[in-house]
Amino acid sequence: MKKKIAILVIGVVIAGIFYLNYVNEENTKVNKEWALTDEQVSNVVLKGISQDLNVILKKGDTNTVQVAGEMPVSFADKLKEIQPEKDKMLISFATEIGVSIAKNSKEKLTVTIQTTDTKLLKELNIKMNKGNVVIQVPNEFERRYELETNKGEVTNPKSVKNNADELIKVELGFGNIDIVE
């Protein structure tokens, strides 16, 4: 019986070491940008990120989404493979079965969404495990907001536009959500 318990304890310790190495993975710098069609930029989804996130919405000459900053190496490798879909831009770090495993990263990631017309971005959907989310929304971007965090604070925008068709939705496990106008 003592032998079985010893084997079990050793197995748990080894699993714990692998887990800690996985969640405390080394970071690397990223700077990836995608040129998008009007249809692709209409629905931008960020899923499975586990670090502070700064999202900047702005008007410009082209439709683009850019991800810059530092992130865990395995997430950076996955970022290189991401391509826009026909009708949306999905940036997902979840596994193939939809599970998102938190990785510890103290670095901030910046996502810049540029559109040629403020009405093109119909929905921005952010689903994160942990980390603070700051979204910078210029006054000319009229949006409704659905902001939810399980543990943290939500700073609502100064002006709420409940009649707007465009939506910014943030679902956060742990962390604060700030809308800056």
At 111-136, the pLDDT tens digits run 999 999 988 999 999 998 888 999 99
User: Does the global pTM surpass 0.85?
Assistant: no
CB 136 within 8 A of CB 157: no
Does the structure show a pLDDT above 80 at 150?
yes
CB 48 within 8 A of CB 66: no
Q: What is the pLDDT of residue 4?
A: 74
Sign of torsion, CA 151 48 139 122? negative
Confidence category of residue 90, pLDDT binned at 50, 70, 90: very high
Assign 10 to helix, strand or coil: helix
pLDDT in tens, 1-57: 777 776 776 766 565 555 544 455 688 899 999 999 999 999 999 998 888 999 999
The one-letter code for the residue type at 99 is V
Label each residue of the chain as H, E or C. Answer: CHHHHHHHHHHHHHHHHHHHHHHCCCEEEEEEEEECCHHHHCEEEEEEECCCEEEEEEECCCCEEEEEEEEEHHHHHHHHHCCCCCCCEEEECCCCCCCCCCCCCCCCEEEEEEECCCCCCCEEEEEEEECCEEEECCCCCCCEEEEEEEECCEECCCCCCCCCCCEEEEEEEECCEEEEC
Rounded CA-CA distance 125/22 in Å is 27
137 secondary structure, DSSP code = -
